[in-house]
Amino acid sequence: MNLDGETNLKLKRSLEATNHLRDEESFQKFTAVIKCEDPNERLYSFVGTLQYEGKQYPLSPQQILLRDSKLKNTDYVYGVVVFTGHDTKVMQNATDPPSKRSKIERKMDKIVYLLFSTLILISSTGSVFFGIETKRDIDGGKIRRWYLQPDDATVFYDPRRAPLAAFLHFLTGLMLYGYLIPISLYISIEIVKVLQSVFINHDRDMYYEDTDKPARARTSNLNEELGQVDTILSDKTGTLTCNSMEFVKCSVAGVAYGRVMTEVERTLAKRKGERTFEVDDSQTDAPGLNGNIVESGKSVKGFNFRDERIMNGQWVNEPHSDVIQKFFRVLAICHTAIPDVNEETGEISYEAESPDEAAFVIAAREVGFQFFGSSQTSISLHELDPVSGQKVNRVYELLHVLEFTSSRKRMSVMVRNPENQLLLLCKGADSVMFERLSKHGQQFEAETRRHINRYAEAGLRTLVIAYRELGEDEYRIWEKEFLKAKTSVTSDREALVASAAEKIERDLILLGATAVEDKLQKGVPECIDKLAQAGIKVWVLTGDKMETAINIGYACSLLRQEMKQIVITLDSPDMEALEKQGDKENIMKVSLESVTKQIREGISQVNSAKESKVTFGLVIDGKSLDFALDKKLEKMFLDLAIDCASVICCRSSPKQKALVTRLVKGTGKTTLAIGDGANDVGMLQEADIGVGISGVEGMQAVMSSDYAIAQFRFLERLLLVHGHWCYRRISMMICYFFYKNLTFGFTLFWYEAYASFSGRPAYNDWYMSCYNVFFTSLPVIALGVFDQDVSARLCLKYPLLYQEGVQNILFSWPRILGWMSNGVLSAIIIFFFTTNSIFNQAFRKDGHAVDYEVLGVAMYSSVVWAVNCQMALSINYFTWIQHFFIWGSIALWYIFLVVYGSLPPTFSTTAYKVLVEACAPSILYWLTTLLVVVSTLLPYFLYRAFQTRFRPMYHDLIQRQRLEGSETEISSQTEVSSELPAQVEIKMQHLKANLRQRNQ
Amino acid sequence: MCVHQSINITTKSSSSILFYQFTQQNLPACKPVLTPSWIVTTFLLMGVIFIPIGLVTLRTSHSVIEIVERYDTECIPEKFRGNKVSYIKDSTILKNCSLYLKVPKHMKAPIYIYYQLDNYYQNHRRYVKSRNDQQLLHGLKSNDTSSCQPEDSSNGLPSVPCGLIAWSLFNDTFKFIRESSELVVNRKNIAWKSDRNHKFGKQVYPFNFQNGTFIGGGSLDPSVPLSDQEDLIVWMRTAALPSFRKMYGRIEEDLDADDVIAVHLMNNYNTYSFGGKKKLVLSTSSWLGGKNDFLGVAYVFVGSSSIIISLVFMLLHVKNPRPYGETAYLSWNR
């Protein structure tokens, strides 16, 4: 069942009371009543009872198969359907797939409304004037403009029905000035976005060779949104980590074993320079030696332990070989994993509840304690007998399993070994284990603590291993109590069980400690570091326990040493006490109060530190999150979370993930959710952008995502490069589009003013139809597809550039209105300069006077030149494609004129030979075009000149920097460019912090 | 200022390199950056180019000699001035009129004669649409004259040429006399060649024209094909703006300074009902055409403002030295 994002197997058991029902016939007389909770979305809990043969049996999640579960290692199951359809937990966790539109597009709608109002405004202005003019044509029986024959006019021009004529003219006006609303913009944007997606799909730097998976843009309408992400909500397992644990080191009987260096250790060693980093007490780690050993053994997944003192049965010769034997026995027995024997090769693999458990069992197997079979009541091992040196089969009778919970932080098993000894084998976190050691069991405590600290420093997860021998009497007394607790039907059963377990898990004898590495995906810390530099907040929403989540937070530089942690949790002793009392309403009330108090404290902490440079990291667990997401607390929680540099939510259900996403989205900030499992689907759909990791966990996340990438680290390029580019491209493209259409539309309007608003367009119909199709569209598309303000390399080098998108600088209202007024201004310049230059005088040597056709061509040429040159001015990235499109569009206009003008006059009407015969030989025409185009571009150029010099934007600075090619970095980079890579520094600091915490 | 970036990939053919660069958005590109020196240079350059062009244009415009004489009021006898419209509509009165023009400077042939109408909306949508290009080219063979309404026919027969434009043909005539000898006015080739050859039929003769109850403008000689009716052709090429000139003819001899030219004209055309002006224009032409100072002035203006801008910019640049890379100017750091 992969709803919680974990790939490992979950152990499901039927109730023992129903174990005798083994075939269909036995069900014939089976009657039972199941009482259970209402449908809900909580995956980790189930409250219910089975009433069977007059007895009540509690039902726990262990007995429940959730919908979408896959059955493994079991041939068949008899069961009862408890909930169906929308009542299932999966469906309760599902959210409706939303249709997503980018912010820019939504803003564009507003601009279109604005333009539509403008359109109506100028149309009605025109209509009013037209109505007045038309009405005056018959003035008290006298005909004014006789050449129009107003007395014999159709309804469109009838002075006697002037208001109606004016209204009809209004409709004409809507058609005529329709160029203000660029229908072609929508088409162009679609084309551009599809091409942008193609580029994303083809990016080599986002192609993952190991799995042969390129990045995939599954939707094209969110490309520009990628450049505006403010908060990333990330899943942990499979997204940040590879979801595989490796057994790396162990400390047994006060001696540290394991020579492999972790990545963190390596960076540490590098930092220390010549001084070699000592791995253990006796020997320095020589790479050569290390290498030899690595080569000798085959590499095993989950096992990265190299030490010749332990491996290949050598442990027998160690001073404390009996402790070592016990140590690995605990590893081999104390777990809930299931062996999976490959019939052909005899190899054994394990399916475990958590990957670290699998790592332990594998480690035990590699050392010589092969766990090969388990049943409800026994565990079988192949063991090396230190005396005879033979492999022997040993069967341990499994008595009880005291399971791991996040509050207990340990698990134990009780077994009876073949020598009929009762043993309690226990493993758990150091914080709870050391206090449970018996007096004589503390022999190696000091060394072990030292080793654990060292392991923690190396970024490893540690567990303490201990055991205890039990007396038969003690066991019997305890078992009674334990069983009573276990079969109690009250909802505080868990608490009862825990307290029972507590009684037996004491006086332990320390054996040693293990260190497991939770492997981060490649490049994750660097990527998160870059994203943080770009000002993007990263929230981790994970189903993991709090300790794991915090650990990973440090490992991937989300949490840093200089950060202050605010932890909101309900796992406090007070709460546990309350839960024991079992008053549900009281628990709710107190929990709410407690969460409120903690949040309030957090806020005051943040507020008091506002002046100083302290940043905060917020950690909250699932239970508290439930309360924090309550309507009343929502806002307070959000306020706190937004002030924190990073937020980690642990133990969160898919629904909670989606709710948190919605909460963040509610602030108007762009959210990006990234995840790989089915449990992330809700989050991916809820976020503005959902990014799926096409990893090992199947396709469900990918199918509901908007973008799919193979590795978390590709997110950096997807956002900082593609996101930034697409944002810039689309916003520039839209601005430019409005500019060019306003320029064109308003020349028509000014001309109307000189044609008594009669609705005569200034240009031939075909010129107008081709404007958006041929003469101006291709350069815009080239802008939208190819433009780059700075190269990909510089985008990554100066991540702060990304803020241009987050703060929406390129698509702010001042900028949009600026472009629009530039369009109107351009129209004014074009119209008045052209009409005044080519007034009514002869415009060529042979004395021909200007007419409608010539003026139209002259104006239109200026418009085509002006908008295309404007394009050339506003981009600063020219490949041959840009050159071809921009200059080609202008050339196309002249080619069009020649071709269209050579068609028969009945078709070409006013364009007949207008360029060849009339305009081209006229010097005045060309001089006018030059003057008008330059004057039109002058205001924008002037603005750009002063703006780049005196109010430069970030990309202007970077461009300038690149041009100068200077080695000095832009100041924001300086603190990063110290001699150490930032993430190493950060990691070092976090490890120190981690250490300090443990020592407290 | 162009930085060409390309990456080295060991690919076999150049087309695949190109394709690779294309898909990786890594094509060699020119990336101009607006540096202060570029800005100053551009503005200076614009000034340097534009001012001379402007001066030459202005000079050329000034070399054109133009005589403009408004005659719409003068040509109405004193007693009718109170009611000009009824005077012009009265077809029984012979509306001849004389003007005397003094030539200010030597005018070199050819001297173009224009009539200029002001406040005349030849670009009105209703007016412009009221024509039939098919009929102008093919005559009565094209019988769909609905586009010509309301002047598509009279007395039940279609008119050729039909439509408001043709119907409102300008019909003032001018005669020029210098020292009692009449100046020859060449009235051929005043229309565009393409119009004569391709828009107006050689075999199409005026028919049933100006036969309606309400006479608009001038009438046409039914024995002359439309392609030779150059007055009509010029008139039918509608003007762009409500104030326009149309060519009437050419005087193909020089006029000397202080020559006095008597113009005998027939003031037939009604511009009085809509308050339009009528002007007679005699003008020489230059390589730029007629007299219009606007272009030259605009060039000089744009050129000189460019130079001023570049100076202002330079001044500010020097006064506010600011090392690049200062993020304090970034909007989100303010």
Of the candidate ranges A202-206, A277-281, A342-346, the one whose mean pLDDT is the lowest: A277-281
CB contacts of B216 in chain A (<8 Å) are 146-147
> A-chain residues within 8 Å CB-CB of B84?
none
Which chain B residues touch A845 with a CB distance below 8 Å? 285-289
Pairing of the two strands A689-693 and A707-709: parallel
Query: d(Cα A630, Cα B270) in Å, to the nearest integer?
Result: 84
CA distance B205 to chain A (A): 19
Residue A526 has pLDDT above 80, yes or no: yes
Task: Tell me how close the Cα of A274 comes to any Cα of chain B, in angstroms.
Answer: 37
Which stretches of A802-955 are assigned E, i.e. beta strand? none
Q: Which of residues 4-63 of B touch A (CB under 8 A)?
A: 5, 23-36, 39, 42-43, 46, 50, 53, 57
What confidence score (pLDDT) does residue B330 get?
41
Least confident of A171-180, A416-425, A509-518, A692-701: A692-701
Write down the pLDDT at residue A586: 79
φ, ψ (nearest 5 deg) of residue B329 = -85, -10
Q: Look at residue A86 in the predicted model and tell me its pLDDT.
A: 85
Using the beta-carbon criterion (under 8 Å), do A923 and B28 form an inter-chain contact?
Answer: no
Average pLDDT over residues A37-63: 81
- Residue-wise pLDDT tens digits, A942-997: 999 988 888 888 888 888 777 776 444 444 443 333 333 444 445 445 555 554 55
List residues bridging with A340 in a β-sheet: A349
pLDDT digits (tens, 9 = 90+) for A203-216: 888 888 888 888 88
Flag whether the ipTM exceeds 0.95. no
**Which residues on B lie below 8 Å from A877 (Cβ)?**
29-31
Residue of A4, A137, A235, A529 marked catalytic: A235
Structure tokens at B11: 């690919």
Question: Chain B window 171-230: which residues touch A at a Cβ cutoff of 8 Å?
Answer: 192-194, 198-199, 214, 216-217
Interface of A with B in 649-688 (CB under 8 A): none
Read off the pTM: 0.81
A235 is a catalytic site residue: yes
**Is A854 part of the contact surface with chain B (CB cutoff 8 Å)?**
yes
pLDDT digits (tens, 9 = 90+) for A217-276: 888 888 889 999 989 998 877 788 777 778 888 888 888 888 777 766 665 555 455 344
**Is A912 within 8 Å of chain B by CB?**
yes
Residues 827-846 of A with CB under 8 A from B: 833, 835-837, 839-846
The per-residue pLDDT for A969 is 43
User: Chain A partners of B270 at a C-beta cutoff of 8 Å?
Assistant: 146
Q: d(Cα A671, Cα A673) in Å, to the nearest integer?
A: 7
> Cβ of B283 and A841 within 8 Å?
yes
**Contact residues, chain A, for B291 at CB < 8 Å:** 841
On whether any CB of chain A is under 8 Å from the CB of B241, the answer is yes
Residue pair B291/B61 in contact by the 8 Å Cβ criterion: yes
Closest-CA residue of A relative to B276 is A145
Which whole number is the average pLDDT over A813-838?
Answer: 93
What confidence tier does B251 reach under pLDDT thresholds 50, 70, 90?
A: very high
Phi, psi torsion values for A768, nearest 5 degrees: -65, -40
Helix residue ranges, H only, A427-523: 430-433, 445-457, 472-487, 493-504
Do A847 and B150 make contact, defined as CB atoms within 8 angstroms?
A: no
What is the per-residue pLDDT across B17-54, written as a single tens digit (0 to 9) for each? 888 888 888 888 888 888 888 899 999 999 999 999 99
Q: What is the mean pLDDT of chain A?
A: 81
Average pLDDT, integer, range B195-200: 88
Q: Per-residue pLDDT averaged across A4-14, rounded?
A: 64
Neighbours of B123 (CB within 10 A): 24
Is the omega angle on the peptide bond into residue A182 within 30 degrees of 0, that is, cis? Answer: no
Res. B332: pLDDT tops 60: no
Q: Which residues of A47-56 are buried (b: 16+ CB within 10 A; e: fewer)?
A: bbbbebeeee
Q: State the smallest CA–CA distance between residue B244 and chain A in angstroms.
A: 5
Across the interface, which of A792, A852, A969 has its CB nearest the CB of B239? A852
Rounded-to-integer distance, Cα B42 and Cα A719, Å: 36
Nearest neighbour of A148 by CB, restricted to B164, B285, B326: B164
Task: Give CA–CA dist A964/A843, Å, rounded.
Answer: 49
Q: Lowest-pLDDT range, A315-329, A576-590, B249-263? A: A576-590
Query: What's the mean pLDDT in A110-139?
Result: 91
- What DSSP line would sit under B3-42, residue for residue? ---------SSHHHHHHHHHHTT----B-----HHHHHHH
Q: Which two tokens stand for residue A469?
A: 């021998």
Q: For the segment A657-709, what is each residue's pLDDT rounded down to a tens digit?
A: 888 888 888 888 889 999 887 778 888 888 899 999 887 656 778 888 889 99
| Residues of B (124-163) whose Cβ lies below 8 Å from A | 124-128, 133-134, 137, 149-151
Interface test with A, best of B49, B50, B123 (most A CBs within 10 A): B123
Mutation pick from A787, A913, A931, A970 vs chain B, by most beta carbons of B within 10 Å, is A931
Residues of B in contact with A146 (CB under 8 A): 168, 216, 270, 273-274
Task: For residue A613, give how far its alpha carbon lies from the nearest alpha carbon of chain B (Å).
Answer: 16
Among B residues 270-299, those touching chain A with beta carbons less than 8 Å apart: 270, 273-274, 283, 285-292, 294-295, 298-299
Q: Do A153 and B150 touch (CB under 8 A)?
A: yes
Residue A181 — very low, low, confident or very high, per pLDDT cuts 50/70/90? confident
Query: Has residue A473 got a pLDDT over 80?
Result: yes
Residue in B125, B168, B295 closest to A760 by CB: B125
Q: Where residue A26 falls among pLDDT bands split at 50, 70, 90?
A: confident
Q: Do A756 and B121 touch (CB under 8 A)?
A: yes
Give pLDDT tens digits for A133-174: 888 888 777 888 888 888 888 888 888 888 999 999 999 999
Cβ <8 Å between B295 and A855: no
User: Is 70 exceeded by the pLDDT of residue B80?
Assistant: yes
Count interface pairs A-B at CB distance under 8 A: 271
Distance (Å) from the alpha carbon of B77 to chain A's nearest alpha carbon:
22
**Residue A961 to residue A789: CA distance in whole angstroms:** 13
Instruction: Tell me: pLDDT of A815 over 80.
Output: yes
In this prediction, residue B327 carries a pLDDT of 44
pLDDT category at A122 given cuts 50, 70, 90 is: very high
Beta-carbon-side half-sphere exposure of residue A772 (alpha carbons within 13 Å): 23
Q: Which residue bears the tokens 């057994």?
A: A247
Per-residue model confidence as pLDDT tens digits over A709-767: 988 889 999 999 999 999 999 999 999 999 999 999 999 999 999 998 988 899 999 99
Predicted confidence (pLDDT) at residue A857 exceeds the cutoff of 90: yes
pLDDT at A400 (0 to 100): 83
Please state, in angstroms and rounded to a whole number, the distance separating the CA atoms of residues A915 and A918.
6
- Mutation target to probe the A interface, by most A beta carbons within 10 A, among B136, B292, B320 is B292
Nearest CB to B302: which of A204, A923, A938? A938
Question: What pLDDT was estimated at residue B333?
Answer: 39
Distance from CA of A608 to the nearest CA of B (A): 22
Taking residues B49-74, what's their average pLDDT? 93
Q: Look at residue A328 in the predicted model and tell me its pLDDT.
A: 86
Taking only residues 306 to 325 of chain B, the set having a beta carbon closer than 8 angstroms to any beta carbon of chain A reads 306, 309, 313, 316-317, 320, 322, 324-325
Question: Is residue A148 a contact partner of residue B164, using CB atoms and an 8 Å limit?
Answer: yes
Which secondary structure element, helix H or strand E, spans residue A248, and what is its range? strand A241-252
pLDDT at A519: 77
